Amino acid sequence: MRASGQDIEGLTPREIVAELDKYIIGQERAKRMVAIALRNRARRKLIREDLRDEVTPKNILMIGPTGVGKTEISRRLSRLAGAPFLKVEASKYTEVGYVGRDVESMVRDLMEIGVKMVRDERRAEVLERATERANERLLDLLLPPPGSSRQTGRIPSRSSPASSSPQPLGFPGIRTQPAQPHAPAEGEEPEGDESQMGEERWRRTREKIRKGLVAGAFEEREVEFTVSHRSGVQGNVVGFGLGTEAEMMKQVQEMVERMMPQRSVEKRLQIRHARQILIDEEVDRLLDMDKVVMEALDRVQQSGIIFIDEIDKIAGRGGGGGHGPDVSREGVQRDILPIIEGSSVATKYGVISTEHILFIGSGAFHVAKPSDLIPELQGRFPLRVELDALGKKEFRRILVEPDNALTKQYQALLETEGVQVIFTEDGVEQLAESAHEVNSQTENIGARRLYTVMEKVFEEVSFDASEMRGARVVVDREFVNGRLADIIQNEDLSKFIL
């Protein structure tokens, strides 16, 4: 599977659908639509520059009940594209001026994700160098260079005064105490090779310690070292708040912390923990954060995806007015509209244009209809696709076909305890039938019902697995019925348990 953004540009829509098929069952129309949207982004980069800015993403509105794969399709698409992806709930936003989060915060959150994504990629590139430099610093702590102000062959101790005798490191099989220099007799010239011999001995000892350090022989040994630390601000700078106020306070606090001078902090830790701190410090020195931010800014603006779930919850109630100010419905729609149309949003990393960010709206639309959205917002979601409800046939395929199928997950989990789990054909069939039956009797939550059914079926085995090493569990129809039959037949009980 090709997962990087550079590779995905070579995938055709058919290949993109094939990648999505590995994790999502059915919903062919939705897969085709998002595949076309992703392919169009690659096509846009190749057209002439004067026309490139005129080509905007075709935002998608997915309509379908919960648990049919709306979120999963978008999440897998972002992974294929290597694009910053953010999922938000439309119902948590309120109109500007009211308590709650303003809609621009979704763009700021997407930028944070983009910076973290690029930083993690660049960190992986410099990690080897950073680890080498961190190990060199550890070596300097364990065996300081000749002539160093540190006492050779010991680890500094807080409890012992500077005048106390050196504490040898005691590396097994390694002599770290320097040999006593030969005192020249009266009238005798000092030997010129003596310092050279001492340095050569130090190099040999250092190489032996390096091998032990890389092999993990000294992980429990403690070292004392200095790290740079920026003074923080205790609590909030300006009290507390909600929504936009809280975000502004957080930004002010971060700004004040950046203005604080760095100071050196002494730490005394085991080498296993000290190494990670030193690696992080070296990574920060090797990374050019200005370049990271610039790349993240471009990636967010050109490839970012924002998935707005429960968009039906902000649709109008219908039937005219008389409800008072609808700060979580029409007001939010009016605020979201310029973000989707294309506007500039100020973040702490710079101004972001949302003109080429792909927005995917999602909702069940049981009560409201897409036509209940304000007309301007409807026009900003030109592509609409209705996802199909899942039945027994789809449940059965979900249990066995995807690369991350639930049956494969439970087999892998229990295999760690030495328990072999085998699913028979009729066992999988019964699991699918049970999930479908419960969805029919109670609220239809789609494929999510499979999680509750599987957990109930494996409750006893999961609890006793540590005492069943070497056991073989066959999940057939009888096994499933023995754990679910009574609950499914009792409709009132199944509402609470399944």
Query: Can you tell me which residue has the tokens 């007799």?
Result: 185
| Per-residue pLDDT tens digits for 222-234 | 888 887 765 555 4
Per-residue pLDDT at 57 exceeds 70: yes
* CB-based burial, 215-243: b 16+ in 10 Å, e otherwise: eeebeebebebeeeeeeeeeeeeeeeeeb
What is each CA distance from 116 to 179, 345, 359, 483, 492, in whole angstroms?
A: 51, 19, 21, 45, 47
> What's the pLDDT at 140?
86
The residues spanned by each domain of the chain are 5-117+292-386, 122-156+168-179+195-290, 392-493
The pairing of strands 262-270 and 222-230 is antiparallel
**pLDDT tops 70 at residue 475:** yes
- 392-493 has which CATH code? 1.10.8.60
Classify 89 as helix, strand or coil.
Answer: strand
pLDDT for 228 equals: 75
pLDDT at residue number 424: 94
Tokens of 390: 């899942």
209, 183, 181, 210: which is closest to 197 by C-alpha? 181
Highest averaged pLDDT of the listed ranges 164-178, 242-256, 349-363: 349-363
| Portion of the chain with pLDDT greater than 70, in percent | 75
Please give the pLDDT value at position 6. Answer: 42
How far is 218 from 408, CA to CA, in rounded Å?
39
> Of 421, 425, 433, 409, whose CA–CA distance to 481 is shortest?
433
**Residue 75 corresponds to which amino acid?**
R
- Does 5-117+292-386 match 392-493 in CATH topology? no
Q: Lowest mean pLDDT of 208-217, 319-328, 451-460, name the range.
A: 319-328
Assess whether pLDDT exceeds 50 at residue 443.
Answer: yes
Q: Say whether pLDDT at 468 is over 80.
A: yes
- What value does the mean pLDDT take over residues 397-409? 92
d(CA 22, CA 25): 8
Token code pair at residue 194: 């003596």
Q: What are the phi and psi torsion angles at 267 (to 5°)? A: -130, 145
In this predicted structure, the answer to whether residue 407 has a pLDDT above a threshold of 90 is yes
Share of the chain above pLDDT 90, in %: 40
Region 85-96 average pLDDT: 80
- The mean per-residue pLDDT over the stretch 305-333 comes to 72
| Residue 258 banded pLDDT, cuts 50, 70, 90 | low
CA torsion sign for 313, 318, 322, 325 is: positive
Asked if the model's pLDDT at residue 77 lies above 60, the reply is: yes
Q: What is the pLDDT of residue 156?
A: 45
Tally of CB atoms within 10 A around 355: 15
What band does 406 get if pLDDT is binned at 50, 70 and 90?
very high
| 5-117+292-386: CATH number | 3.40.50.300
pTM of structure: 0.76
Residue 116 has pLDDT above 80, yes or no: yes
> 256-260: long-range contacts at Cβ-Cβ below 8 A with a sequence spacing of 24 or more?
257/230, 257/231, 257/232, 257/233, 258/230, 260/230, 260/231, 260/232, 260/233
**Is the pLDDT assigned to residue 146 strictly greater than 80?**
no
pLDDT at 155: 44
How does the average pLDDT of the chain come out, rounded? 80
